[in-house]
Amino acid sequence: MKIAICPGSFDPVTNGHIDIIERASKMADKLIVAVLENSSKQPSFSTNERVELLKKSTTYLKNIEIVSFSGLLIDFAKKNNARLIVKGLRAVSDFEYEFQMSLINKELSPDIETVFLTSAAKYMFLSSSVIKEVAKNKGDISAFVPKKILKDVVERLSK
């Protein structure tokens, strides 16, 4: 069975993430969406909340599993017999960091490949951070997050 991993902070999941997850799910028999637990970015949503928001947003995708992980991504990939890491790339600004991550991961485990899916043009500007900024200032984020979680995200961020 071909297993792929789509890792991230997902703080919270955006329509851009969902686009990448949908496309990545077609590249493997099983896609594990892996939510980083101990992000140095001080997440706004707890690990459980981030996992639950992802689950609620992706009930229609049958070959995916949403879990959290801590430690090195490559160790998590090995433990789950995944040979493929799928990441989204929005713009050149993402490239340097992602390139570095893929190189270090390749060095740590040469058998595991990282592939990049280019973001859909309509989501190029989207990030969890900008969504949080807009929501905290009472702006409309309905075009940026899945409908199923809009209420949860808005309520949580306007607290």
Q: How far is the CB of 7 from ligand PNS (least distance, A)?
A: 4
Q: Using alpha carbons, list the distances in angstroms from residue 22 to 50, 53, 75, 86, 154.
A: 17, 15, 24, 11, 24
Contact 5, 86 (CB under 8 A): yes
Binding-site member from 3, 89, 101, 120 for ligand PNS (CB under 6 A): 101
Judged by beta carbon, residue 79 or residue 138, the one nearer ligand PNS is 79
Q: Which two tokens stand for residue 148?
A: 């199923």
* Cα distance between residue 121 and residue 45, in whole Å: 27
Q: In 3-state terms, what secondary structure has residue 114? A: strand
List 9, 119, 128, 132, catalytic entry: 128
Concerning whether 17 is annotated as a catalytic residue, the answer is: yes
* Cα distance between residue 107 and residue 72, in whole Å: 13
x/- mask, ligand PNS, residues 14-33, rule CB under 6 A, reads: --------------------
Q: How far is the CB of 151 from ligand PNS (least distance, A)?
A: 23
- Sites for ligand PNS among residues 65-94 (CB under 6 A): 72-74
Contact positions toward ligand PNS, by CB under 6 A? Answer: 7-9, 36, 72-74, 101, 104
